[in-house]
Amino acid sequence: MKKLFAFAIATAMIIAAFASTSVFAANDPIVFDFTKEASVKAIAADADGTENDFILTLADGVAFLGKNTDTRIEYAYDAADKAAVFTAHDKGGTIDPYFVSAKDDKGGDLPEAYHINTGVYKYLKVAYKTSAAAPKGATIAFLSDVQPAWDLNSGAVLYDLNSDGAWHYDVKDLSTEANWAGTINQIRFNVFSGGTPETPNVAADSKISIAYVGFFATEEEANAFEIKTDVPAEDEPTPSEPTDPSDEPTTPADPTPDNSGNNNNVPNTNTGDVAVIAAVAAAFVLIAVAVILKKRVKD
């Protein structure tokens, strides 16, 4: 009887471990994709009209709020590079080029699928290039359940920039960052920063191209990730090789969509199903053993 009980406990633990591993592995990366041209809508932010904002909406629907051309930051799209180009502008002697997550034409929460659980997503990857003179780096600031107010010292992480003008795909380990905590619901990108988040040291009109910014569960996933930019547009059919009429017809492709990848960079929000199923299975194992033990006791 003791052996049977021990076997049941071991089985339940294995199922629980499988559930935990499966959920962890199923966390798709959270990627902000700038490889497709974003839509831009100008909005007046100040009553006196001295500072205009714009809403930048990415192809996947995620929106950001930025300051307009003559104030802080300017957005353009480079079709050749398939990347966003951000230009830093001088606002009254201060260079503070940033854009922040937006909702309803003002700063606000990211869509729930893009909330970043820092306990899971521990690696940052940024695809960028810049020739700006002497940039120290860039800043990602955020609001979370443990960081409810904007603070570029306690609620931000820095990453280095290389200004050689070539494309870089830099991966940063965030697990050692004291500020990387909680679940992030709003995010702000300062495309240039100096030695601290609040002191950009680049010259006005400095430019940086960004293809994507992504958050990953493991370093291996971050290093392996890429966004293919050479896929023809929907109205540009891919040319095919001439076929031999004598060839036997091939079996039609399975119309079921392949959800194994993350082609649209939208995080997988259904990872809890595996855990629920496994938990139920473990419960059934324990109940079955309890019934057997009770029956043996009666006998």
The answer on 125 and 104 residing in a single domain is yes
Query: Is the same domain home to 17 and 34?
Result: no
Residue 260 lies in a domain: no
For range 68-96, the mean pLDDT = 84
Which of 189, 209, 224 terminates a domain? The answer is 224
Q: What is the 3-state secondary structure (H, E, C) of 272-297?
A: HHHHHHHHHHHHHHHHHHHHHHHHHH
Binned at pLDDT 50, 70 and 90, residue 273 comes out as very low
The answer to whether residue 258 sits within a structural domain is no
Same domain, 185 and 60: yes
Residue 257 lies in a domain: no
Residues 101 and 123 in one domain: yes
214 with 100, same domain: the answer is yes
Q: Model pTM greater than 0.75? A: no
pLDDT digits (tens, 9 = 90+) for 241-252: 444 444 444 444
Q: 6 in helix, strand or coil?
A: helix
* Same domain assignment for residues 66 and 194: yes
Domain count, the chain: 2
Q: How far apart are the first and last CA of the chain?
A: 13
Domain range for residue 280? Answer: 2-22+271-298
CB atoms within 10 A of CB 115: 18
For residues 140 and 62, state if they share a domain: yes
Query: Per the domain annotation, does 146 fall within a domain?
Result: yes
Residue 81 lies in a domain: yes
Residue 12 has pLDDT above 90, yes or no: no
- Predicted pLDDT of residue 52: 67
One domain, residues 220 and 276? no
- Assess whether 172 and 293 both reside in one domain: no
Share of the chain above pLDDT 70, in %: 59
pLDDT grade for 212, boundaries at 50, 70 and 90: very high
C-alpha to C-alpha distance for 142 and 179, rounded to whole angstroms: 10
Same domain, 41 and 154: yes
Question: Do residues 73 and 196 both lie within one domain?
Answer: yes
CA angle 114/116/117 to nearest 5° reads 140
DSSP 20-60: HHHHHHT---EEEE-SSPPEEEEEE-STTSSSEEEEEE-TT
> Which of residues 185, 203, 224 is at a domain's end?
224
Q: Are 56 and 194 contained in the same domain? A: yes
Which residues does 125 contact at the CB level (< 8 Å), separation at least 6? Answer: 169, 170, 171, 172, 212, 213, 214, 215, 216, 222, 223, 225
Q: What is the pLDDT of residues 133-175, one digit of tens each?
A: 867 789 999 999 999 999 988 899 989 999 999 999 999 999 9
Q: Is residue 230 part of a domain?
A: no
CATH code assigned at 198: 2.60.120
In a domain? residue 177: yes
The residue among 224, 253, 284 that closes a domain is 224
- Is 263 within the bounds of a domain? no
The string of pLDDT tens digits covering residues 37-54 is 999 998 865 555 555 688
